[in-house]
Amino acid sequence: MILTGGTVVSSLDPVQIARHDVHVANGRVAADGGAERRDCSGCLVVPGNVCAHTHLYSALARGMPYDLAPPENFLQILQRIWWRLDRALDEESVRASALVGGMEALLSGTTTLVDHHASPNAIDGSLDVIEDALRSLGIRSVLCYETSDRDGPERAQAGVAENRRFIERVLREKPPLVRGLVGAHASFTLSDETLAACAAAASELEVGLHVHAAEDAVDELDSVALHGIGAVARLAHAGALDGRTLLAHGVHLDDEEIGLVHAASSTLAHNARSNMNNAVGRAGLGALGLRVALGTDGIGSDMFEESRAAFFRLREDHSGAGADWPLARLSQGARLVGAAFDEQHLGRIETGAPADLVVLDYATPAPLHAGSFPGHWVFGLGSRHVRDVMVDGEWVVLDRRLTRTDAQELAMGARAQAERLWMRLADIGPHEFEPKGGRR
Ligand SMILES: [Zn+2]
């Protein structure tokens, strides 16, 4: 395959742009070769976007009925919404949510999803179901199961076992499009024993832990009350904080914990829209110098939209922040995924890199070069410009349509599953789990 005539953004951090053809062979960007041509004149060719933290299972939750008292804080949001929804999930709704979530990701130019999955009544094999659904679309992913003690010790053990089983298999089989991390919910729903089991699995399998950390004050307060240290310090003491660790949110990290994250070179997935939606507070990311990537926390997977929201939120506190900030964050997400796949060039369009790229049909109204591109990203470009998407050298979206499957058909199947899911949900009450360290 040769992509001809486009303006190629070969790197997001630092931004590098040139006009040249892109050759693709054997799933990778190549120096030359290819026979089939795709005209990209007037288009931008950019690295595929990475969503560094999402929950595909929330795809069927859009607009679902809610007739309990309105939640007044983050813990109640979990107890009354998400911990009811996850208990209502079965294999078919997990599959349907992965299919429509993956479909929407590709159509918005996201080529990799880092997912964090919970289905306490359908744990065993759930990661295979998601893998299978995402493979059928041709999207890349890094999966994990959300281990937690909130539904009892058996389910905590089953969560660890599901992570182990899945990761052992993907490390053995090395499927082209999927890898695993060890997933855990958050310090405030993890016993010492379960946290130790997660840390041991991550260490033995040589993968990272993917865990919510200090998303809300409740996580920090609980850890301080029970263990005398903050949630991230607790992870560090458990041996779960290293260069492979992916921490989601980090809104309430204290100075000591910021130092720990920095020293461990862990990645922090920032989810600006979710933080606003759940009123958990404002992550102080501007001056930290941490390795920050961008996630959606399940609010779709449009990284143009997320980039913009994160940027404007940042600018409220730091009016001098540059428009290249979200690009560097996306690049960090790609580095994290590249590490999981042992592909250090992932996220770049250069010889040898996995061919994950997006063709944007963008009639630029102002000069476009390396210096101006960040401004175009924040103030102009969007998923509406996504024309074609390639993952691992294969076109999975062409002319705004999925190549492997019919989007309307997928959506129809999802709607049927959503109706059943919502009916089951109506019979599930608020979750009774309370943090042992008390609540704010
Ligand atoms: Zn999350």
Per residue in 385-414, pLDDT (tens digit) is: 999 999 999 999 999 999 999 999 999 999
Tokens 């540059």 map to which residue?
A: 322
Which pLDDT score, from 0 to 100, does residue 35 have?
86
User: What's the 117 CA to ligand 1 centre distance in angstroms?
Assistant: 9
Ligand 1 centroid to Cα of residue 53, in Å, is 6
Q: What is the distance between the alpha carbons of residues 428 and 105, in angstroms, rounded to a whole number?
A: 30
Question: What is the model's pLDDT at position 288?
Answer: 58
> In this structure, which amino acid lies at residue 55?
H
Separation of alpha carbons 200 and 182, rounded Å: 10
Q: How far is the CA of 215 from the centre of ligand 1 (A)?
A: 9
- Residue 101 to residue 207: CA distance in whole angstroms: 25
For residue 32, report the distance from its CA to the centre of ligand 1, in Å.
41
Q: What is the pTM of this model?
A: 0.98
Are 337 and 142 in contact, with CB atoms under 8 Å apart? yes
The DSSP-derived string for 340-394 is HHT-TTTTS-STTSB--EEEEE---SS--STTTHHHHHHHT--GGGEEEEEETTE
For residue 336, give the H/E element and its range: helix 325-341
Distance 182 CA to ligand 1 centre (A): 14
Contact 110, 147 (CB under 8 A): no
Give the H or E element holding residue 135: helix 126-137
Task: Measure the CA–CA gap between 57 and 101, rounded to whole angstroms.
Answer: 8
Q: How confident is the model at residue 284 (pLDDT cuts 50, 70, 90)?
A: confident
Ion ligand 1: residue ranges with CB closer than 5 A: 248, 297
Reported as a single tens digit per residue, the pLDDT across 15-36 is 999 999 999 999 999 999 878 9
Strand pairing partners for 145? Answer: 117
Instruction: Output the CA 41–ligand 1 centroid distance in Å.
Output: 39
Cα of 307 from ligand 1 centre, angstroms: 17
Q: How confident is the model at residue 286 (pLDDT cuts 50, 70, 90)?
A: low
- Average pLDDT for 331-350: 97
Output the CA–CA distances (angstroms, integers) from residue 10 to 16, 378, 431, in the order listed. Answer: 6, 18, 47
How does pLDDT run across 104-163, given as a tens digit for each residue?
999 999 999 999 999 999 999 999 999 999 999 999 999 999 999 999 999 999 999 999
- Is the pLDDT confidence value at 285 over 90? no
Q: What is the DSSP string of 25-72?
A: ETTEEESS----EEE-TTEEEEEPEEEEEE-GGGGGGTT----SPPP-
Tell me the CA–centroid distance for residue 33 and ligand 1, in Å. Answer: 42
Half-sphere exposure of 265 (CA within 13 A, CB side): 6
Q: Is the pLDDT of residue 437 over 90?
A: no
| CA–CA separation, 82 and 75 (whole Å) | 10
- The region that residue 152 occupies, defined by phi over 0 for left and psi between -120 and 50 for alpha, beta otherwise, is left
User: Residue 414, exposed/middle/buried by CB under 10 A (0-12, 13-18, 19+)?
Assistant: buried
Task: Identify the helix (H) or strand (E) that includes residue 407.
Answer: helix 407-426
Q: What is the 6 CA–ligand 1 centroid distance (Å)?
A: 36
Pairing of strands 182-186, 178-180: unpaired
Find out whether the peptide bond into 14 is cis, omega within 30 degrees of 0.
Answer: yes
